[in-house]
Structure 1
């Protein structure tokens, strides 16, 4: 059992929790995720690690209740315990594992949309702690949906905030703000990390491709099981089938087939849709379960 030592409501629809999980806190790296189960027989919920405190033994998760399990998790209070908290899973961010001299040459901009601000934060924090400067763009529909602004401002060289309705910061979306920074403020970037809703990542990648900026995206939003067995996070990257949970969650954003992924995500939401995908995709439907040969 894993105790919830802190719970905070970041805005009307997003929660932050610190979970006591010392082993995970000591080993998790930016870009990785965990799987939490509320109860012994509960559904597996993959969530990106938003922060760690190895000294306190805590791992921070940030989530938006959208399904039954995350709605249930939002009802847990400080002092209560979740049944399991497994991780770290997935591959760490390339910025963390690449040669430090190469990272130092990068002029990095992080682009975060909505709850995607949470998985961006540990990467920006890591950059700051290792002496690397970076710019950060945070976007949301309105001011009330902006999260973790103060935390991000403490670790980013420059933080730029935008809202679709203009209620706070730059009026417009993240791609429009990026264009303004490059074209009007003469900012130069040679590396981008984009995390947020799939549609936002798609258009952000179209923008960075226009400016010839290599771009990494996190496909955590499409994960369900987190082990490659359910087939939910099957995605095509550079014409090859990949699974976000076991091959990622980070990929080259300019090579991801976002349209296919979003269509597939919509179909997967129904039981009949899942059966249809399993039939159509056959041996490539699962990513490591060992049962693909049984698909007909």
Structure 2
């Protein structure tokens, strides 16, 4: 595993994690408050299918933090990462899934196939105030990594394990790598803007993976798939928001079957 950096058109430095593999690129996009290295358990087997890499989104992991904290800006960052590489399979979880959808609609030349895990394109039934209340209630600094796992690991233990990778130790304890105010700003936009309109523009093959205990409203992701020209939808029972961590073998089976099908389909000219 290697690390490198790229600079965006507004001079923000993004860290890229190269997990290995060769061939066509597979780009992994993490969720809100996450980081690239949280994909490591998935990347371990994905390297058999291509060159696997993942950016830390701006304000996350080891990438620089500077606004604006908008979907448009964060998707432009992903374009910067992908433009030197050419068409990729893009796999996104949560926030990363939303960015992958918008990217595929905006830049079909950069996305050969798409896998989107547990996200909605319409959160306007939720409020920015609720997002702020949730984030600001987090007991930072955390006393230990065990404390991080305890806070985030109820009711889903895998979320505690995930978030224990998204903190850093300082003199007074452990802090989230992503600033709360930046996360609130990102989530606040989701409460104001919908992205239904991008779905018919996503013309590449797509797999939508939904958790049983999804962050999306009931039926939402199935409807997303129906509005896309070439999409299939699966709902994985017994899982929370982190499907790839809660049911890794089931997730892998669905993803590898999809990748196999895509590999037999010539890319559009």
Same fold (TM over 0.5): no
Q: Which structure exhibits the higher relative contact order, with contacts defined as CA atoms closer than 8 Å and separated by 6 or more residues?
A: 2
Give the structure-2-normalised TM-score.
Answer: 0.29
Q: Hey, which of these two has a bigger chunk of helix by percent?
A: 2
Q: TM-score, normalised by structure 1?
A: 0.27
Greater Rg by CA: 1
Kindly indicate which of the two structures has a greater share of residues assigned to strand: 1
